[in-house]
């Protein structure tokens, strides 16, 4: 039977929820505080939009540190392969890149938003832009509509909240959904910025700002020297510390206890153990035997990194290569295999890809996304206490939970 459904928030979860609920035959109204839909989608993946990861359900779950068990049902209702088919049917051509990351062939996140816009139009979703919602109306234990910031009330048979978390607040993610959830009797866990660049104590990072390193390995150790995380891939130096894919994923492992203190070690040559690296250094040193040490590392390291390594190795840059001692070479070798940095914090929500924490998922039905406390009130996307690593997994969560909420709203 046709019902009037209100969806709050036109991000990935909200767009999917609204389109799916309308596809089921409901009259759907989508309310968005911004003057356009999909504002956060537009900036994801550096403007290219990594829509999902080309993995089966188990592969998706393996990349979700935040309550993966909760997402079993949602992923089985809309998995990565079905999502890719969904976009192709909307005219969006996709491609799979390294790490099974899925992007639009055009490399334009705008094309993802335009495809979702077509989905809304096709199913006659009524869009209300620049319409911030103040609260959810609840009557006799059921969601009954919304109250807008201007005081106007809109009645409905069901409400889906897809307001995002706290990351990238400039896109409108200012925590409204947590407030709505608490008002409905839900608990919200402690919130942290996740998939976020890390600040470091060492000032030499500033000298390397903009330098990207590929095929490196990072290791993070706690204040007791115990390894807590390692990864292989790409990273970037910034004016405040470090960023890039391996750093963002690493941040998820330490944000809950970051104040306890962590050290980051960068292996610049992971393909070689110390013995092989030493042999390589000897070969390079033989080649540049009569040159200054400052000119002997060109074959081994990016130009920008050389002065920093020389400084940290405490070897005179003017020293002739043929007079470098075995001890100095060993010191250099150790540095190349474990360049140390002291982590002091994160850059916060302004640069965090997602929010870690959210509405306690034990209070949400995983097969419908419906509140266990209020009938016909559903939550989807980042507002829930679920989050993943980089690689398209967080958008898959948003689309899958949004789909489930739209599919099941007002079923009973």
Q: pLDDT (tens digit, 9 = 90+) per residue, 159-171?
A: 999 999 988 787 7
Q: Angle CA(208)–CA(213)–CA(219) in degrees, nearest 5?
A: 100
Residue 244 clears pLDDT 80, i.e. is over it: yes
Give percent above pLDDT 70 in the chain. Answer: 100
Residue 138 confidence (pLDDT):
98
Residue 388 confidence (pLDDT):
95
Please report where in the chains the tokens 């540049």 appear, as a residue. Answer: 288
For 324-385, the three-class secondary structure string (H helix, E strand, C coil) is: CCHHHHHHHHHHHHCEEEEEEEECCCCCCCEEECCECHHHECCCCCEECCCECEEECHHHEC
Please state the rounded mean pLDDT for residues 138-162.
98
Residue 213 clears pLDDT 80, i.e. is over it: yes
Residue 101 clears pLDDT 80, i.e. is over it: yes
- Please, which pLDDT band fits residue 1 given cuts at 50, 70 and 90? confident
Task: Sheet containing 133-139: give its strands across.
Answer: 133-139, 142-148, 153-155
Q: pLDDT (tens digit, 9 = 90+) per residue, 261-297?
A: 999 999 999 999 999 999 999 999 999 899 999 999 9
Tell me the H-state helices in 222-273: 245-254
User: Which token pair is 359?
Assistant: 């509405």
Residue 351 confidence (pLDDT):
92
Please state the rounded mean pLDDT for residues 368-380.
98
- Please, which pLDDT band fits residue 206 given cuts at 50, 70 and 90? very high
């Amino acid at each position: 039977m046709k019902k009037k459904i209100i969806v709050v928030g036109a991000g990935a979860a909200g767009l999917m929820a609204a389109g799916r609920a309308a596809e089921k035959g409901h009259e759907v109204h989508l309310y968005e505080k911004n003057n356009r839909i999909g504002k956060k989608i537009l900036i994801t993946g550096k403007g290219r939009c990594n829509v999902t990861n080309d993995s089966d359900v188990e592969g998706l779950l393996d990349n979700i540190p935040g309550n993966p068990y909760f997402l079993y049902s949602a992923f089985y209702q809309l998995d990565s392969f079905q999502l890719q088919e969904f976009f192709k049917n909307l005219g969006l051509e996709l491609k799979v890149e390294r790490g099974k990351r899925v992007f639009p062939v055009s490399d334009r996140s705008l094309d993802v938003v335009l495809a979702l816009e077509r989905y809304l139009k096709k199913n006659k979703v009524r869009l209300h832009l620049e319409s911030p919602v103040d609260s959810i109306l609840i009557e006799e234990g059921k969601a009954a509509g919304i109250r807008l910031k201007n005081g106007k009330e809109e009645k409905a048979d069901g409400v889906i909240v897809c307001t995002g978390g706290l990351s990238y607040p400039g896109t409108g993610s200012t925590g409204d959904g947590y407030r709505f959830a608490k008002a409905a009797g839900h608990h919200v866990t402690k919130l942290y910025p996740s998939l976020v660049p890390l600040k470091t104590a060492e000032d030499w990072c500033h000298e390397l700002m903009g330098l990207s390193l590929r095929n490196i390995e990072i290791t993070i150790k706690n204040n007791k020297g115990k390894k807590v995380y390692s990864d292989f891939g790409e990273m970037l130096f910034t004016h405040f510390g470090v960023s890039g894919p391996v750093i963002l994923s690493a941040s998820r492992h330490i944000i809950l206890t970051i104040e306890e203190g962590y050290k980051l070690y960068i292996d610049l040559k992971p393909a070689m153990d110390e013995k092989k690296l030493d042999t390589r250094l000897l070969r390079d040193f033989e080649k540049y035997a009569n040159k200054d040490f400052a000119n002997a590392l060109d074959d081994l390291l990016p130009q920008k990194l050389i002065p920093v390594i020389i400084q940290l190795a405490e070897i005179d840059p003017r020293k002739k290569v043929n007079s470098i001692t075995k001890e100095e070479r060993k010191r250099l070798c150790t540095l190349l295999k474990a360049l140390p940095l002291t982590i002091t914090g994160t850059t916060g929500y302004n640069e965090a890809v997602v929010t870690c924490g959210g509405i306690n998922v034990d209070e949400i039905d995983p097969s419908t996304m419906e509140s266990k406390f209020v009938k016909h009130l559903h939550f989807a996307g980042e507002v829930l206490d679920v989050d993943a690593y980089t690689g398209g997994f967080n958008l898959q969560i948003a689309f899958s939970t949004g789909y489930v909420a739209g599919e099941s709203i007002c079923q009973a």
